[in-house]
Amino acid sequence: MSNTFRMALLTSTLLAGPALAETTLTIESWRNDDLTIWQDTLIPAFEAKHPDIKVVFAPSAPAEYNAVLNSKLAAGSAGDLITCRPFDASLELYNQGNLADLTDLGAMANFSPVAKSAWQTDDGAATFCVPMASVIHGFIYNADAFAELGIEVPQTRDQFFAALDKIKEDGTYIPMAMGTNDQWEAATMAYQNIGPNYWKGEEGRLALIKGEQKLTDAGWVEPFAELARWKDYLGDGFEAQTYPDSQNLFTLGRAAIYPAGSWEISGFNTQAGFKMGAFAPPVGAEGDTCYISDHTDIAMGLNAKSPNLEAGKVFLDWVGSAEFATLYANALPGFFSLNSTPVAMEDPLAQEFVSWREKCQPTIRSTYQILSRGTPNLENETWNASANVIRGSETPEDAGKRLQEGLASWYEPQK
């Protein structure tokens, strides 16, 4: 054993305390796309500072994550660190005693109350996950196609549909790449993308939670009415088009506009061979306040039954640090750090997305906080309704009425 190594080992042991010697932490996550980033960038950066803690990133498929995680937690075989979905899914885990209370964690000071709101008890007394990133909705477009067809980046809804008409008329490109097969795109990347401009972001969302607005009100039905118009601009057979199909259609240059979440940026950067740009959801009329969905999406918590609680806290403290924020935001452009320290990002597309925070009012997805606590689940119903409306098998009014009935059946303020 070399002397340097012995010294290093000794120092680390002294610094971290004997309890931490040779600890392995396992991270549960749904972000299987990020496996290489964790393995090549994030984990080595952490392990360089804490050689006594080994970290393993063990993701499962996104659609199965919640089910898999719940079963693992019930069986006691879940990892030490748990990637937290926002709001009720994680709150329920905390209430069941599966997530440890992290209110006193030092790194929590680096986050604003809004950033923490998605992982707190309703009264804000306890915080149980360290916020990692938010995602912003908007539209990514093929800048080469726009230049070729002489289309200006649309600011208003009329310009948006005029642009779509022009692309359709030309016929070289599918105007918009989206399918309804997987349903969630219709809700997340369509309804929650354009919706905040109609229901005025936080104003409408909070009014819905308080019971002052209903899903049958104009602000909540009009986005469905716009979705119904999208149908004509989607590709042939969009009914059976899946999420990866849409991604490929866009990155292969066959479609001009992609209703997006900022999480697509890193994938698109490697896949697409053309210049891309992004625009925020178009507003009703020139000069209207714009609203964007800046959704607190991902955080990390600690399995309360983990045998490595201390090491887990050391790791989470690092996740809450400015160093992690910079590494993460640049390794994954499109996942915008929630850390109060400003993070310099190099990706132009990510910069464009984040610039909307300056001029638009941010909100989170309307169905996530409180409103998806009951059965029927408003988020899942919204998937179904959005897909139905785009396919034309349900009218916007019927969809609004059905969602309202479902919500009112269990949510007291809406009764």
Residues that bind another protein (CB under 8 A): 63, 66-67, 70-71, 85, 87-89, 92, 96-97, 179-184, 235-242, 245, 248-249, 367-368, 372, 375-377, 379-380, 383-384, 387-388, 391, 393-394, 406, 409
Count CB atoms within 10 A of the CB of residue 126. 16
Shortest distance in whole angstroms from residue 18 CB to another protein: 35
Dihedral, CA of residue 200, residue 202, residue 208 and residue 212, to nearest 10: -80
d(CA 332, CA 341): 17
Shortest distance in whole angstroms from residue 97 CB to another protein: 7
Q: Would you say 283 or 390 has its CB closer to another protein? A: 390
Sign for the CA dihedral angle at 368, 351, 65, 307 comes to: negative
Q: Would you say 11 or 393 has its CB closer to another protein? A: 393
Q: Would you say 315 or 411 has its CB closer to another protein? A: 411
Shortest distance in whole angstroms from residue 188 CB to another protein: 10
d(CA 399, CA 221): 8
Shortest distance in whole angstroms from residue 319 CB to another protein: 24
Cβ partners under 8 Å of residue 105, min gap 6: 130, 313, 316, 317, 320
d(CA 274, CA 315): 39
d(CA 313, CA 319): 10
Shortest distance in whole angstroms from residue 374 CB to another protein: 10
Q: Would you say 230 or 238 has its CB closer to another protein? A: 238
Sign for the CA dihedral angle at 185, 189, 195, 201 comes to: positive
Q: Would you say 154 or 301 has its CB closer to another protein? A: 301
Shortest distance in whole angstroms from residue 87 CB to another protein: 8
Q: Would you say 161 or 368 has its CB closer to another protein? A: 368
Q: Would you say 22 or 415 has its CB closer to another protein? A: 415
d(CA 224, CA 259): 15
Question: Which tokens hold the place of 249?
Answer: 């259609």
d(CA 353, CA 277): 10
Shortest distance in whole angstroms from residue 181 CB to another protein: 5
